[in-house]
Chain A
Amino acid sequence: MPSTEAVSAHAIRRIVLDQSKRAHVGHIGSCLSIADIVAVLYGGVLDVADPGDADRDRFILSKGHAALALYAALHLRGWLNAEELDTYCGDGSRLGVHPEHFLPGVDFSTGSLGHGLAMGVGAALAARAQGSSRRVFVLLSDAECNEGSVWEAVMFAAHHGLANLVAVVDDNGQQALGHTKDVLDLSPMADRWRAFGWDARGVDGNDAGGLTAALARPGLGGRPLVVVAETTFGKGVSFMEDQIRWHYMPMSDAEHVQAVEEVDQARCAPQSSAP
């Protein structure tokens, strides 16, 4: 029976690998890097019993190119059936590389980087104006913070003390043409958000326990919260980890077999705090 218990980083990774292989598409590394974050959110942090509930917590995947990880979570929660999941990237599908709000469970369409946080700020401001305790979570990529619009939203959220807003930065150190430190260095990421007035927490973004703890408490002092989640691009598949080509490449049959084996082995190996 689909439930929050069904959502695990392992299950998300398996879906990412299998659907990417079936559809013969890329963006695998980015999906794998956020699998643990998405698992923690949809495994309990997000207060969403029904994606049609107007007073549900909102989630915005601002790094929309990792939508497959979101589709996986929606499937594991029972809101997206296997038949439709199998249409990923197909003709006539509602499931593209980037998520569309037409699909139940997707709160906002994304894909153009730098857009999601501003919408999240509006969602949080509306919740406050409407007297609702619902929260808004926005998942950004680290390279997305190159966009000036991100910082417009960061400033507004801090100025207005939007404590119901949580940003998670998938800090995998990669962007489309290189390492972030070489393209446009954003370190120290957490300090930059703090300087703009946010409560910032740094965690291992591939560790469920640390993520859950960081997301459990709201921002201190009524401030918006950013969790800078240090992740490994391509996490869980040895030949993908920290390899930029897996931003683009689809897998061969052999690569898929090896990737699945590694992900399944990691599930069986003893881990301190995996979901």
Chain B
Amino acid sequence: MRAAILRTLTELAAADARVVLLTGDLGFMVVESFAERFPDRFWNVGVAEQDMIGIATGMAEAGLIPFTYSIATFATLRPYEFVRNGPVHHRLPVRILGVGGGFEYGSAGPTHHGLEDVAVMRALPGLTVVAPADHAQAAAALRATWDLPGPVYYRLGKDDRSLVPGLGGRFALGRTQTVRAASAGVVIVSLGPIAREAVAAAELLDQRGLDCRVEVVASVSPAPVADLVEALRHAHTVVTVETHSVVGGLGSLVCEIVAEQGLGCRVVRCGVRSGPDGIGGSEGFLNVRHGLDRTAIAQTVQEAASISATRPAQPTTS
């Protein structure tokens, strides 16, 4: 995904001289092609994420479109206040590329895991938050958003090979992408590359006779309210899947929409519920540990659906 983004960014930069790239000393084998092609529009600011965002703010005020690059957690949490008081407050077109959402930097340990970035970035009004599910969608998302007038956060993965079945590189701001249609009352809503596991879980459940619809949310802000309302209107169970804290991310977003729109479905959130405990491992290991593999997701969906299906939906009214 990061390679697709940089390849697309290099193409955009060739067509528009306002595009510049800053990195916080990260991006080995990723940023070089841009740097070599546009040496006067590339700066390694050093290990200084606050400074990077501040510099980008000053450059954007002058009419440039600065992209900043770092690991997701460093790109968001360290300079968070500079993001808020800088591009967000000034409504400037700074772009923040955060690589490695979730447990993608698995064995690097908890300092490198991006588990709160969506929550904190989603809290900033006017900040577009994009979390693509695969590299084709990431490239499409960048093309759709690179020249927005306001700031954008891109939560990116490292995988440039895998694709989410049924996604087909689609992206639209404020919309979901339906990757598996179903008429039944169970909907899985997923964010990021873990969507592949969500789709695989739906296939497992299909074999067991439980038909699930699967939606991908890549446009976190603006939130795809209308599409989610439509997808959940007839559902009795919705399960959210994200490699992120269950607080503040996709799970919270769906809860907000279900509650505010008076939808009558139960929401179950698959995500990270506990902090570091000293046990590390690969991304796959950690995903399993937090119930974010296809088997566990399928189990969660099945249990939730069996409970919800036995009681009638009771839409709330306001």
Which A residues have a C-beta under 8 Å from some C-beta of B? 54, 58, 101, 107-109, 111-112, 115, 117-127, 129-130, 136, 149, 152-153, 155-156, 159-160
Q: Beyond A58-B61, A118-B54, A121-B54: 15 further Cβ-contacts under 8 Å?
A: A54-B63, A108-B58, A112-B81, A115-B86, A121-B51, A121-B55, A122-B59, A130-B62, A149-B51, A149-B54, A152-B51, A153-B51, A155-B48, A156-B45, A160-B43
Nearest A residue to B48 by beta-carbon distance?
A: A152
Would you mind naming 29 contact pairs between A and B with Cβ atoms under 8 Å apart?
A54-B62, A58-B61, A101-B89, A107-B61, A108-B58, A109-B85, A115-B85, A115-B86, A118-B51, A118-B53, A118-B58, A119-B57, A119-B58, A119-B61, A121-B58, A122-B58, A125-B55, A126-B58, A126-B61, A126-B62, A127-B62, A129-B41, A129-B59, A130-B64, A136-B58, A149-B50, A153-B51, A155-B46, A160-B43
Instruction: Give the docked Cα–Cα distance between A119 and B81 (Å).
Output: 13
A-B pairs with lowest CB-CB distance, top 6 = A118-B54, A122-B58, A126-B62, A122-B55, A152-B51, A123-B58
Closest Cβ of chain B to A262, distance in Å, is 36
Q: In the complex the two chains form, what is the Cα distance from A85 to B248 in whole Å?
A: 41
Dominant secondary structure of chain A at its interface with chain B: helix
Selected contact of A115 from candidates B20, B59, B62, B82, CB within 8 Å = B82
Pick the most buried of A117, A125, A156, A160: most chain B CB atoms within 10 A of its CB. A125
Q: Which residue of A lies closest to B84 (CB)?
A: A112
Whether B303 sits at the interface, judged by CB under 8 Å, is no
The answer to whether B63 and A126 have CB atoms under 8 Å apart is yes
- A198 CB to closest chain B CB, in angstroms? 15
Whether B56 sits at the interface, judged by CB under 8 Å, is yes
Is B62 in contact with A108, judged by CB distance below 8 angstroms? Answer: no
B40 at the interface (CB under 8 A from A): yes
By a CB distance below 8 angstroms, the chain B residues around A101 are 89-90
Which residues of A have CB within 8 Å of B54? 115, 117-119, 121-122, 149, 153
**Residue among B43, B45, B55, B85 with the highest chain A CB neighbour number at 10 A:** B55
A160 CB contacts on chain B under 8 angstroms: 43
Give the residue of B20, B45, B46, B58 whose beta carbon is less than 8 angstroms from that of A120. B58
Is B63 within 8 A of A119, CB to CB? no
| C-alpha gap A136/B61 in the complex (Å) | 12
B46/A123 in contact, CB under 8 A: no
